[in-house]
Structure formats: C-alpha cells, structure tokens
Structure 1
Amino acid sequence: MSDSGFRCGFATFVGRPNVGKSTLTNALVGEKVAITSDKPQTTRRAIRGIVNQPDGQLIIVDTPGIHRPRTLLGQRLNDLVEQVLGDVDVIAFCVPATEKVGPGDRRIAESLDGYPRAAKVALVTKTDAASRDQITERLIEVDSLREDWAAVIPLSSLAGDQLDVLAAELLALMPEGPALYDSDISTDESVEDRVAEIIREAALEGVRDELPHSIAVTIADIAPREGSDLTDVYADIVVERDSQKAIIIGHRGSRLRDVGARARAQIEPLLGTRVFLGLHVRVAKEWQRDAKKLGRLGF
C-alpha cells in the first residue's frame, strides 16, 4: 500500500487544569488511555494515545494542565508541557463551554506565540453541559483570543459530538508521512504505568483539599501466580504525611479496600486475568518538593 496522501503527526491539548483534556484524549482514541478526575493536575505525564484512521494516524499527547506551580513537582509538570508544545504539529487550546474565558485562559493563549511551528486550533469543550447561548458566547470569546486559529470547534467528549470533525481537522493539519505505530496499538504506555495510573485514579476518588496532589503510586511487582489463573499486583500508594496515610487507609482499612476494589475492576480487563491486588500505603515526606524523591517516583 502506498503512503501517498497518508498523514501522521502529533497533537496536544492545552488549557487550565480540569478543562477535559484527558477525557477528550480517551474519547478520540476510543478507549481509556489517560485517567480522569475532577481534581486539578490529575495528569502528570505525557501520555500518548493513538488514533488510527484510514487516511492517517493521529498521536495525541495528553499533558498536565498549565498552572502556577507551588512545588518542584508543579514546575516539572509545566516544564513537561513546554517540552511537548515545542515538539508537536498541532496545539489544540481547550476552554469549557460552561466557564467564561478568564485571565488564565488568556495567558495560555498568548503563550502559544512561543511555538510558531505548530498549527493552533481552539476547542470549546463540555458542550453537553452548556446552553446554546453559553456555547455561542464561548465561541466568540475564544475566537477573539488569537487571529491564527486554524479552526474553532465546539464539542462534547461525553456525548461524542463533533469528535469526527475534530479528528478530520487535526489530521488535515498533519504532515504527510507513514504511520509511526502499528494500527492495533492505542497507547505506548507500559502496562506498569497504566496499572499505576488506574490505582491513583481510584485513590483520588472522594479525597479533598490538598491530598490529591500528594498521592503518587509505584508498582513493586506484576507477575502471574504459579499454578493459578491469578496475576499478583503489588503497589505502593505514596503520600506526604502520616495524617494523609490515615485518610487513604480509612477506618479499619475500609477506604483502602474500596480503592482496591475500584482499581481491580479496571486492571483485570487490562491484564486479561483475575487479579490479586496488594496495596501498601507509605509516607515520603514532602516528596513534591524534594528532587531526589521526585526522581525515585519517576518525575
């Protein structure tokens, strides 16, 4: 088969935390490759989701939300976003239809001047939760932020509205070239990383205040159990303080059991086997601010 006319390239979604970037990545890929949560800074790595189409391949790089960093971790997340923005072919700027454009959005939109190589697209997300008037108002606000938008597209990841329009628009902006991944691959994330993220997503549910930022997950071991159809998964949930450890564990371990049950329900289909999930909660004091501890946790 000739690659003539076939397009392949990289796109990323940018915006404030919690504007729906990871949900949009998953919706385009057609399966869950990035965890989602209503907690800001849920995404901590550049996660690649691969969208295969008859006439091209889109590689969506999901990144952390851009924010004012208060810790070394926060600064490293912002640095990661900057690195990705410098490498991609298309930057898609996201604003939720339900919220007015604010100073943070304007600052991010202006910062895109620093990446002249990439085409820019504006997306108004979460249209399923907004009125028609809100969507119209947001489209006008977003359109006025820059003069070089290649397209301005309203969409809903949850309802699936306009995702085909977005995919076609992104693909049209990509360079011609062969696919970089096999057509049956949806992400280049390792199994260990995906399992760790599933556990972290489960741990994030229902926690409050500063705790979400303090949670990290490391995998100690994933191995089939001898003479059984079980896979043993052992993981550490890392927090910064003893009081946070108590919250994660809960009364007589009740909360940790809930975390394990929620995580196991997603890990089993990923691994294709029944899973024994052993979770241990440990404290690494102020790890978000400690360069050595960040390194050990993979940041």
Structure 2
Amino acid sequence: MVEHRMMDVNGIRLHIAEQGSGPLVVLLHGFPESWHSWHHQFGPLAEAGFRVVAPDQRGYGSSDHPEDVEAYTILHLVGDVVGLIRALGEERAYVVGHDWGAPVAWHTALLRPDLVRGVAGLSVPPPFRGKEPPLVAMEKRFGGRFYWNYFNRPGVADAEFGRDVRTALRKLFYSASAAASRSGEVKQPLVNPDKGWLDSMADPEVLPEWFTEDDLDALTESFSRGFTGALNWYRNLDRNWELTAPWQDAMVTTPALYMYGDRDLVPAFPGTPELIQNLPRLMPSLVREPIELEGCGHWTQQERPDEVTTALIEFFRACP
C-alpha cells in the first residue's frame, strides 16, 4: 500500500509517496505531473523487492513552492534528490526520471555518481551540454514560438493554465499522447504568443483509456496552488546551462537506461533524433540500446506501464 508523508530535505519540505522495502528506487515526475504519474509502478516494483519513493518535486503538489525563480536551478533539484536519499537513511539509490524528471535523474548521476546505483530516463535523453543557452537557441530557431520561450514570459503561461486547471491539464495530456498523433509525424511544440498554447489544442470528449477521470482529479488537485513553481523550472534553462559549464563534455558513467515513445514530441526536438541514434557510442554506460516503444506518446510510464515497469526491473537487476 502506498503511504504518504512530508520530509525536510535540502532546506524545503517535500511530500513523498512510498511503498515496499529493499534497495531504494527514486521516481521523479515531469511537467505537468506529480508523484501520481508513477502510480502504475509502485505495486510491481515493491513486489519485485524494491523500496519505491516518488516525491512531488519542488514547486509541485504538496511540496514547498519557493517564490524565488532562482530556487529552481538544476543544482537545487539535484540537491533535493541527494538530500532525499540521505533523509531516507540510504546511501545509494536507483534514480529514474520522466520528462523534466529525466534531466534531474541524469544530472544526479553526473554530479553524484557515488550515490547512484543506476539511472534511467524516460522521454528526455541524457544531457550533452550544447554550444549556447537553450532558450537563446530556440529563440533563434523558432522566433520565440517554441514553448520553452513562451513559458519563460513571467506570469503568462501561469495565468493561461490557471484559468481552468482541469481543462488545461486535460488538453496538455491529450495533445502529447499517442492518441493525438500519427505514426511518423514530427511536430514541434510551437505557441502563438498572442493566443496562448491551449487555444491550438484539442479538448477530447473521451480521455485515453490509460488516463482516467480519477487520474485527472488527482492531477487537478495537485495544481491547486497554481503552475508558477513548475514553470520556474523552464525559466532556469539558460541559468542551468551557465551553472553546468564545469561539466562540459562530461558524460554519465553509472549504468544507464533510456526509453522513449515513437510518438513522443520530445525525441523529435531539433538535434535529438541524431543524439538518440548516437547514444550507444557517446555513452558506453548504457546497458542496452535505447528502447523505443511503438505507438507510445509522451507519457511513457502511464501509456505503457507494463513494458516500462518490466524494463526497469530488468535494468535494476542487471546493475552491478
């Protein structure tokens, strides 16, 4: 049974969900999600002999929402994971992340390999620091219409999503799912700054079968305090690029696994298909070639829970 509690970690309070005993597995959600995005994985991982913990990361759900934008850098986020592992009384953990949780997981392994038994990323591949800040690069490429740049405008997306939280989440989840895309379709997430992002998204009459009304209820409740904390992660993209300069050309050396859906918009971002193709050569610590899930959209562990859980268990057991 999943249990919940609050923990003091890295100068803030985090809400965590946990189940099971054994080697620690930390599951890190993305945007716009919560601990609940891993609810399919808790039981099977616990039954397989693991202690499973999923926090609401800072700025999300019942965890603290610091007001300062600069309190959401990648160093703060990695610090939360490091502090959580220690606060749970553990010395090492398997760290798994989806969407924004994946860069946090990858950077935890990059910065603190002594704490990470193995690292797995879903949707977002391992980090390789580019030649220029990401917001600057996307501003040049798409004239400010890429959704990162839209999110970087203070208060704008916060207000758009906050007007009707449930509808915003329903549209966001559906638009990035396999149900809203066609096989082989490459579609960049561009926004008309004058109309907002939701205006261009379909509002489904029926949710995909993997995403129930109860799931939407839980997600809506988790954003009752608004979207600003979650959006502040994006507002640090260029700052993260500056802060990670000491790790230029460094790579993750702990055992690693990468999974993604073939209808996910993230692996189609500029330069990402080439990165994924070259990952086995660029990162020898991958225990196997990247796993591509056919007919899967962005919400990897929710759209394809059984395949993801099975792959994770096999990966954990294969780690030294």
Common fold, TM-score beyond 0.5? no
Larger radius of gyration: 1
Instruction: Name which structure has the greater RCO, CA cutoff 8 Å, separation 6+.
Output: 2
Q: Higher helix proportion, which one?
A: 2
Q: Higher strand proportion, which one?
A: 1
TM-score normalised according to structure 1 size: 0.28
